[in-house]
Amino acid sequence: MTDRPDTPRSRRERPAKPALTREGIVAAAVAVLRAEGLRKVTMRRLAQELDTGPASLYVYVRNTAELHAAVLDELLGTVGPAPAEGSWRERLEQVLTAYTAMLFEHPSLARSALTARPSGPHYLALIETLLGLLDEGGVPPAQAAWGVDLLLQHATATAAEHSADEASEEDWDALRRVVRDASERTHPHIAALGGALLSGAPHERLSWGLRTLIAGIEHAPAPD
């Protein structure tokens, strides 16, 4: 006599769950990020995804902040190495632009990246690439060390500022009106430069900012 189709299966008959690993947890977190955004990347949500309890995850990841940093590190692997063609300044800008473009694709991650502290292999590879390009340009080591931090801060802040859901179009329209209508008597400089203050596409402002920072890093000595 065969079992009825709806007969509950014994736990012993169920396929064994894959063993938990940090790599598997991060991969699941990246999948949730792509599908639902960073807000949903929580220990409880991942525990559901991996069919386990939240407490089991803390063996591999200390807290949500570390998890988000690990997700950022994983996505840094998509940035890629420096291009082979072009001057060191051009290639440096291209790497940083690729980094910013990756964050543009994940607005919530861009905002989190302002305070995240990744320490994985892809983050180290990115830092090594940036330092190598600055070294190729003859930038003194101390200036290069501080300069990398400054360049990444600017690129990250740009991505966070221009994230798709950062501000509504109504908010931007309100800001444009305030700047455009500034009085020459009370705010002469804003009145004179109102158009320029908010001009330029995001990629144009990013490129100008990076080139400006690179030039400053070349020539501004770091303190002893």
pLDDT at 9: 53
From residue 3, alpha-carbon distances to 7, 8, 9, 71, 135 in Å are: 6, 10, 10, 45, 71
pLDDT at 92: 98
Distance CA 145, CA 124 (A): 13
pLDDT at 215: 96
Distance CA 16, CA 8 (A): 16
For 185-198, the three-class secondary structure string (H helix, E strand, C coil) is CCCHHHHHHHHHHC
pLDDT in tens, the chain (224 residues): 445 555 555 444 555 567 889 999 999 999 999 998 888 999 999 999 999 999 999 999 999 999 999 999 999 999 989 999 999 999 999 999 999 999 988 888 888 888 888 889 999 999 999 999 999 999 999 999 999 999 999 999 999 887 654 556 778 788 889 999 999 999 999 999 988 998 888 889 999 999 999 999 999 998 87
Q: What is the pTM of this model?
A: 0.83
